[in-house]
């Protein structure tokens, strides 16, 4: 006897993983240089030098028990203080160390927070296009996962669609900006409108509606675009942050939940987050990584965004010149492109036949679009362009 629901989840690989693994098998057959793998969002630039230096210094200078021992469940106080100070210096945010709970990245942060909000009959809303893992995160905690259909013109938020999905059972809305998969950053105006609707609905329903701000891509923005700090716009916001993408450390597993004092029932929610984290086996985030993250924040370490920016511009300009339609991404490292015939599943199968691996958008809630990861080697982009061109020509 075992859980059929968990078996089903384990047996069905994510479409991204499947394509990525197919790419590795296919590389062995046709040669890696003939496979154009745009499937996975694995940072393609090295971790900043300041991060490497912090690892080396901490490993050589600090006591083994200090850097490898257990910490408090929420993390070391000095590291939490550094994170809080970092947020305050950038956003004038009034965050205290006590508002920060270190986690093993954004995914477990989201699970702990969603679990902390789980009440009978509750619903969590996501805005398409959305990160596919939200569904199992919500449904495995006994809540209903509901979707606001996409604003496919700009990939901001369709407010009429949002209003239609809000119900008295809505517990929280997940907001992911810069967005995976669209690469779009929600404007301050979008967030203000969202906040105004949620405030009105909270009053109408007689309970708070939280925003869950999923922010692994916060530092990845281009063209001078600013990423608004959502708690400053809508106080009932809890932030799930990760260093996976911003510091190119996805395998190290470090991030945090920030429950600001301005959020409704902040202290109670923080305690519920700690309780929820316990139930998913959280003991503490890696001790060494807490210190590395704190030092990186203090040193203002940031990724070499130019490499991602060059890829973004090269792909956007080439693909749109061939006739593909795409909202220009100004964040993260993805592009979400309209399939020429409107059926991204079929188009990505066609592309697979040419060893071009692009992710159909069905699992992101937009079956007409496909996602391209732009965190790839620029040489691979150059080699792939003739294939993109040939594919759209074959359809038109
Ligand atoms: N949220 C979004 C939108 C993501 O794209 C990802 C990872 O790709 C995550 C959360 C999970 O990030 P982490 O590696 O920090 O768990």
Summarize pLDDT for 197-224 with one digit per residue, the tens.
Answer: 999 999 999 999 999 999 999 999 999 9
> Does residue 303 register a pLDDT over 90?
no
Confidence of residue 45 (pLDDT cuts 50, 70, 90): very high
**Closest C-alpha among 85, 108, 113 to residue 97:** 85
Residues in the chain: 396
Whether 86 contacts 331, CB under 8 Å: no
Supply the pLDDT for residue 120. 93
Tell me if 368 CB under 6 Å of ligand 1: no
Q: pLDDT tens for residues 226-259? A: 999 999 999 999 999 999 999 999 999 999 999 9
364-381 pLDDT per residue, tens: 999 999 999 999 999 999
Our mutation pick for probing the ligand 1 site, out of 212, 244, 255, 371, counting the most ligand atoms within 8 A of Cβ, is 244
244 CB under 6 A from ligand 1? yes
> How many beta carbons lie within 10 A of that of residue 260, not counting itself?
24
Q: pLDDT value at position 275?
A: 98
Look at residue 102 in the predicted model and tell me its pLDDT. 98
User: Which of 16, 107, 112, 286 for a ligand 1 pocket mutation test, highest count of atoms within 8 Å of Cβ?
Assistant: 107
Q: What fold does the segment set 49-299 form as a domain? A: 3.40.640
Atom of ligand 1 nearest to the CA of 130: 3
- Residue 188: pLDDT over 90: yes
Are 150 and 158 a contacting pair, CB within 8 Å? Answer: yes
Rounded to the nearest integer, the mean pLDDT of the chain is 97
Percentage with pLDDT > 90 across the chain: 97
Does residue 103 line the site of ligand 1, with CB under 6 A? no
Neighbours of 347 (CB within 10 A): 23
Question: CA-to-CA distance for 103 and 257, rounded, in angstroms?
Answer: 7
Q: If pLDDT is split at 50, 70 and 90, which confidence band does 14 have?
A: confident
Residue 317 has pLDDT above 90, yes or no: yes
Three state DSSP letters for the chain:
CCCHHHHHHHHCCCHHHHHHHHHHHHHHHHCHHHCEECCCCCCCCCCCHHHHHHHHHHHHHCCHHHHHCCCCCCCCHHHHHHHHHHHHHHHCCCCCHHHEEEECCHHHHHHHHHHHCCCCCCEEEEECCCCCCHHHHHHCCCCEEEEECCCCCCCCCCHHHHHHHCCCCEEEEEEECCCCCCCCCCCHHHHHHHHHHHHHHHHHHCCCCEEEEEECCCCCECCCCCCCCHHHHCCCEEEEEECCCCCCCCCCCCEEEECCCCCCCHHHHHHHHHHHHHHCCCCCCCHHHHHHHHHHHHHCCCCCHHHHHHHHHHHHHHHHHHCCCECCCCECCEEEEECCCCCHHHHHHHHHCCCEECEEHHHHCCCCEEEEECCCCHHHHHHHHHHHHHHHHHHC
Of 10-14, 102-106, 266-270, 281-285, the one with minimum mean pLDDT is 10-14
Q: Where in the chain do CATH 3.40.640.10 domains reside?
A: 49-299
**Averaged pLDDT, 144-152:** 98
Any ligand 1 atom below 6 A from CB of 216:
yes
Question: Which residue has the CA at smallest separation from atom 5 of ligand 1?
Answer: 180
For residues 298-323, give the mean pLDDT: 95
* Residue 134 confidence (pLDDT): 98
Q: Is the CB of 378 under 6 A from ligand 1?
A: no
Atom from ligand 1 closest to the CA of residue 131: 3
**For position 32, what pLDDT does the model report?**
95
Beta-bridged to residue 284, according to DSSP, are: none
pLDDT of 159 above 90: yes
Give the up-direction half-sphere exposure of residue 392: CA atoms within 13 A in the CB hemisphere.
18
Alpha-carbon distance of 241 to 218, in angstroms, equals 8
pLDDT at residue 109, rounded to an integer: 98
Instruction: Pick the closest to residue 102 from 251, 266, 291 (CA basis).
Output: 291
Architecture of domain 4-47+303-395: Alpha-Beta Complex (3.90)
Residue 170 phi, psi (nearest 5): -65, 120
pLDDT on residue 396:
84
C-alpha 232/C-alpha 219 separation (Å) is: 17
**Distance between Cα 206 and ligand 1 center (Å):** 32
Q: How far is CA 223 from the centre of its chain?
A: 20
Number of the ligand 1 atom closest to the C-alpha atom of 176: 3
pTM above 0.95, yes or no: yes
Q: Looking at residues 100-126, what average pLDDT do you find?
A: 98
Which part of the chain is CATH 3.90.1150.10?
A: 4-47+303-395
Q: Which residues, 6 or more positions from 373, have their beta carbon under 8 angstroms from its beta carbon? A: 38, 39, 40, 41, 42, 333, 334
Positive or negative, the Cα torsion across 387, 389, 391, 393? negative
CA–centroid distance, residue 353 to ligand 1 (Å): 29
Q: What is the pLDDT of residues 49-73, one digit of tens each?
A: 999 999 999 999 999 999 999 999 9
pLDDT at 231: 98
- Choosing from 102, 128, 131 the residue with most ligand 1 atoms within 8 A of its CB, the one to mutate for a pocket test is 131
Spatial separation of the C-alpha atoms in residues 271 and 50, rounded to whole Å: 34
Q: Ligand 1 mean position to 295 CA, how many Å?
A: 22
Residue 3 contacts residue 139 (beta carbons within 8 Å): no
């Amino acid at each position: 006897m075992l859980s059929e629901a968990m078996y089903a989840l384990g047996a069905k690989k994510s479409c991204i993983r499947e394509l990525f693994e197919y790419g590795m098998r296919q590389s062995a057959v046709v040669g890696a240089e003939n496979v154009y793998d745009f499937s996975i969002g694995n940072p393609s630039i090295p971790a900043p030098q300041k991060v490497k230096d912090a690892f080396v210094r901490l490993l050589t200078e600090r006591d083994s028990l200090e850097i490898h021992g257990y910490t408090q469940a929420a993390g070391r106080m000095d590291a939490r203080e550094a994170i809080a100070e970092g947020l305050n210096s950038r956003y004038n945010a009034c965050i205290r160390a006590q508002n920060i709970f270190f986690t093993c990245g954004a995914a477990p942060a989201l699970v702990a927070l969603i679990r902390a909000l789980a009440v009978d009959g509750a619903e969590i809303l996501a805005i398409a296009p959305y990160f596919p893992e939200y569904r199992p995160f919500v449904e495995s905690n006994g809540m209903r996962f509901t979707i606001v259909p996409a604003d496919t013109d700009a990939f901001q938020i369709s407010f009429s669609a949002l209003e239609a999905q809000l119900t008295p059972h809505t517990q929280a809305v997940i907001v992911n900006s810069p967005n995976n998969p669209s690469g779009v950053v929600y404007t301050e105006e979008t967030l203000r409108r969202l906040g105004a609707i949620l405030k009105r609905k909270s009053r109408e329903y007689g309970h708070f509606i939280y925003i869950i701000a999923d922010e692994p891509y916060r530092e990845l923005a281009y063209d001078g675009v600013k990423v608004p700090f959502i708690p400053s716009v809508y106080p009932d916001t809890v932030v799930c942050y990760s260093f996976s993408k911003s510091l190119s450390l996805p395998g190290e597993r470090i991030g945090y939940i920030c429950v600001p004092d301005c959020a409704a029932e902040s202290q109670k929610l923080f305690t519920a987050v700690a309780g929820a984290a316990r139930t998913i086996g959280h003991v503490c985030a890696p001790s060494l990584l807490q210190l590395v993250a704190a030092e990186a924040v203090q040193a203002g370490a940031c990724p070499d965004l130019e490499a991602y920016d060059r890829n973004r511009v090269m792909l956007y300009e080439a693909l749109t010149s061939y006739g593909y339609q795409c909202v220009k991404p100004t964040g993260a490292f993805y592009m979400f492109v309209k399939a020429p015939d409107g059926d991204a599943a079929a188009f990505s199968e066609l592309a697979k036949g040419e060893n071009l691996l692009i992710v159909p958008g069905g699992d992101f809630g937009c079956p007409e679009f496909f996602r391209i990861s732009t965190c790839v080697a620029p040489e691979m982009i150059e080699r792939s362009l003739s294939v993109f061109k040939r594919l759209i020509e074959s359809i038109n």
